[in-house]
A = this chain, B = another copy of it.
Amino acid sequence: MNTLGEIFKLTSFGESHGPAMGGVIDGVPAGVGIDVQALQQFVNRRRPGQGQPGATTRHEADKVEILSGIWQGQTLGTPIGFIVRNSGQHSSDYDSLASCYRPSHADYSWDAKMGIRDPRGGGRASARATVASVVAGGIAMQVLDTLGITIVAHIAQVGNVTGSEQQMQQAITQAQQQGDTLGGIIACTIGGVPAGLGEPVFGKLHARLASAMMSINAVHGFEYGDGFAMAAQRGSEMLDLFERRPDGSIGTTTNHSGGIQGGISNGQDITMRVAFKPVPTLMRDVPVVDREGNVTTLPPSGRHDCCVLPRAVPIVEAMAAMVILDNYLLQQTRHLK
């Protein structure tokens, strides 16, 4: 329930306004070098309050404290326990939330599930929970790096702006001034993946990637390769013809398939796109209902992102890294050494 993966596994914990977020990373092979400082820098990329337009002003040090599994810069083969203290919580920001359901938030569905709800803000439903994924994904990326596998994500769309970073920033600034929020699309490319990762029926590589991306807060869509656009195409338009490369290897001349065929990587770049809805926390009065169903109005409060896309880029990379490393390790069981 709070675990992702089969061999490389993250089990995470933490509520946004509790003492700490954290997790246990299991299945990392022994003897891999981990640069803890580089890991911290990777985690910093999702940290709030870094001056992007539209970012929450909540400040978190997000210092990663490794408690086990790494010793003198090397993995021990034992589980890596870690915590990230929540230094910036202001529970009082959220007092008014305890008894009401905000629209398009998880307040109501959470209450229906648990029958009890941490009134200190979003609790476990908060996007703050992604910090544990970024720590684990950051470690996965360092392992993948030794294997020549690279993962790079970028913002492909903010609101209805594609392409120009400057226009994206303008759109965010404008929405923020209006107390509104923006969604968008993040594209991600994974290079250097050997052919053969993924499973043929359940556990297809893109199914695992989809599931991981869908676990990021606010994500509403996933596609790989040419994705939804393929629905309107003809088969003859999207065949990825094979060719022999100069080095003797076999590859494809195009990559409509996004590097995955039949659920298994084919050695081409893996490409995917992840759609984020605009976050539902507006800096405006918003109509809410209380537990009895009475409609009231919630004034803007707390500190929230107007657009989460900039901070979500390392999260997408982290989720991708965990899935790829897990499948890489799983593939090692497919042939007897």
Contact = CB atoms under 8 A, between A and B. Distances in A.
A206 to B, nearest CB: 5
Q: How many copies does the complex hold?
A: 4
B242 A103 contact: yes
Closest 10 CB pairs of A and B: A106-B262, A244-B293, A13-B81, A181-B235, A112-B195, A221-B223, A207-B214, A109-B264, A235-B278, A113-B196
7 contacts: A13-B68, A32-B336, A108-B242, A110-B262, A207-B215, A221-B227, A330-B333
B81 A262 contact: no
A226 B104 CA distance: 12
Given A104-B257, A220-B223, 18 more contacts: A1-B201, A2-B24, A7-B333, A12-B201, A13-B24, A14-B79, A76-B123, A76-B124, A81-B83, A101-B242, A105-B261, A110-B262, A159-B232, A159-B234, A206-B220, A210-B211, A221-B222, A221-B227
A143 B210 CA distance: 27
A242 B160 contact: no
Nearest to A22: B81
Contacts of A20: 67-68, 81
Contact size range, A: 35 or more
Interface in A217-244: 217, 220-228, 230-236, 238-244
A211 B221 contact: no
